[in-house]
Amino acid sequence: MVPCASPAPRKTLAEIKQILQAQKPIIQEKYHVSELGIFGSYVRGEDTDDSDIDVLVEFSKTPGLFKFIGLENELSDLMGMKVDLVHKAGLKPTIGDRILAEVIYL
């Protein structure tokens, strides 16, 4: 019988904020990010083992699709878990209002 690797422990909101804050200057320069924030289940304290990290982003220079996906993948790698990246400019009015009301900007 092969032992199963145990999953990495779930990160806390404080740990997520710390990682993003530390990487923010690099992310800003590499991807032209002007705003970076966290929203969703982690902010509401409703995160579970299956939760991803919801990150709201605004750009000073709009990226192409590959650059956007590259940022999402890089953030997922940094966090060691899935990151769902949402472009602030693409928010729909109804859900956008809810997201903007709870987002924690870094």
Domain boundaries of the chain, sorted by first residue: 13-105
Average pLDDT over the chain, rounded to an integer: 92
pTM recorded for the entire structure: 0.90
Q: What is the pLDDT of residue 9?
A: 75
Cα distances (angstroms) measured from residue 92 to each of 86, 87, 89, 96, 98: 11, 11, 9, 5, 10
Pick the CATH number of 13-105 from 3.40.50.300, 3.40.50.2300, 3.30.460.10, 3.90.1300.10: 3.30.460.10
Q: Which residues are catalytic?
A: 52, 54
Residues 11-20: pLDDT tens digits?
999 999 999 9
Residues 67-100: pLDDT tens digits?
999 999 999 999 999 999 999 999 998 899 999 9
Report the run of H or E that residue 26 belongs to, with start and end: helix 13-31
